[in-house]
C-alpha cells in the first residue's frame, strides 16, 4: 500500500468515531500492509495510537523495527492525571516502534513529542501531502462537541490550519 492508500484507510476508519475531543485515526503498517487500525474512542479518553497498540497486543502482533505507526495527528506527549491513561509518546516508545509518520501538527504537544522521539532514535516525520494534512485537521475539528466551560471557552481545542 502507498502512503496515500494508508491515509485513505485512516480517513475511512475515522468515520466510526465521534470522539468529542477531536477524532484521530492510527494504524500499524509492515511491509506495506496494515496490521491493525483504530480511530480514537467515543469517550474522548483513549487515543488512536493507544488503541491500535492494544489491538496489536491482543492479536499477538510482534512489534519490530519494520513496523511503522501512521497517525492523522502527532502523538500527544502529556495526559492529564484525571484520565488515568498514559500519553501516546510514552506508549509508542515503550513498545519499540522505530518509525512514526503523522499528518497534522499538534501545536500543544509538537515540540515535546518530537524531542522525545528524536532522542530515542525514532524516525519521526510529517507527511508532505498538503491535502491529507488539511483533511486530518478538518477531521479532528469536525467531531469536537464538548460543551463550553463555565467561562464560555471550548474545552477541547480545535487545531489551526497547518
Ligand atoms: Zn495520545
Residue 85: give its domain's CATH number: 3.40.140.10
Report yes or no: 31 and 66 within 8 Å, Cβ to Cβ: yes
Q: How far apart, in whole angstroms, are the C-alpha atoms of residue 157 and residue 107?
A: 10
Domain membership flag for residue 159: no
Q: Is residue 150 part of a domain?
A: no
The cell for 103 is 499528518
Three-state SS for 147-162 is CECCCCCECCCCCCCC
Cα-to-centroid distance, 131 and ligand 1 (Å): 23
> What's the mean pLDDT in 60-64?
96
Would you place residue 149 in the very low, low, confident or very high pLDDT band (cuts 50, 70, 90)? low
* More confident site: 153 or 23: 23
User: What is the layout of strands, in order, in the sheet containing 99-104?
Assistant: 33-39, 25-30, 68-73, 99-104, 123-126
**Which of residues 151 and 53 earns the better pLDDT score?**
53
Q: What is the pLDDT of residues 115-144, one digit of tens each?
A: 999 999 999 999 999 999 999 999 999 998
- Whether 153 is covered by a domain: the verdict is no
Q: What is the pLDDT of residue 6?
A: 98
Q: Residue 73: which domain range?
A: 3-142
Q: Residue 29 domain-assigned?
A: yes
Q: Residue 153 Cα, ligand 1 centroid: separation in angstroms? A: 22
φ/ψ region of 137 (left if φ > 0, alpha if ψ in -120 to 50, else beta) reads: alpha
The C-alpha atoms of residue 153 and residue 104 are separated, in whole angstroms, by: 23
How many CB atoms lie under 10 A from the CB of residue 18?
14
pLDDT in the model for residue 161: 73
- 150 CA to centre of ligand 1 in angstroms: 26
Inside any domain, residue 103: yes
Residues around ion ligand 1, judged by CB within 5 A, are: 47, 76, 88
Distance from the CA of 5 to the center of ligand 1, in angstroms?
A: 23
Average pLDDT, the chain: 91
User: Looking at the 3D structure of the chain, how many domains does it have?
Assistant: 1
149 in any annotated domain = no
What is the rounded average pLDDT of the residues 47-63? 97
Look at residue 151 in the predicted model and tell me its pLDDT.
55
Q: Which of 49, 64, 161, 55 is nearest to 102 (CA)?
A: 49
For residue 76, report the distance from its CA to the centre of ligand 1, in Å. Answer: 4
Question: Across residues 105-111, what is the average pLDDT?
Answer: 81
Domain assignment present for 133 = yes
Å from CA of 49 to ligand 1 middle? 6
pTM score of the predicted model: 0.91
Cα–ligand 1 centroid distance for 63 (angstroms): 19
CA pair distance 24, 104, nearest whole angstrom: 10
Residue 96 falls within a domain, yes or no?
A: yes
Amino acid at each position: 500500500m502507498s502512503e496515500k492508500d494508508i491515509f485513505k484507510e485512516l480517513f475511512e476508519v475515522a468515520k466510526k468515531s465521534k470522539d468529542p475531543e477531536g477524532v484521530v485515526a492510527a494504524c500499524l503498517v509492515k511491509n506495506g500492509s496494515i496490521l491493525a487500525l483504530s480511530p480514537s474512542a467515543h469517550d474522548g479518553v483513549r487515543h488512536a495510537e493507544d488503541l491500535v497498540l492494544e489491538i496489536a497486543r491482543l492479536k499477538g502482533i510482534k512489534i519490530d523495527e519494520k513496523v511503522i505507526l501512521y497517525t492523522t495527528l502527532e502523538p500527544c506527549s502529556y495526559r492529564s492525571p484525571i484520565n488515568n491513561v498514559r500519553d501516546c509518546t510514552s506508549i509508542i516508545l515503550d513498545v519499540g516502534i522505530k518509525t512514526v509518520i503523522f499528518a497534522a501538527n499538534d501545536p500543544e504537544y509538537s515540540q515535546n513529542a518530537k524531542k522525545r522521539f528524536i532522542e530515542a532514535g525514532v524516525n519521526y516525520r510529517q507527511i508532505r501531502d498538503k491535502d491529507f494534512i488539511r483533511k486530518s485537521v478538518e477531521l479532528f475539528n469536525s467531531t469536537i462537541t464538548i460543551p463550553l466551560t463555565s467561562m464560555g471557552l471550548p474545552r477541547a481545542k480545535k487545531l489551526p490550519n497547518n
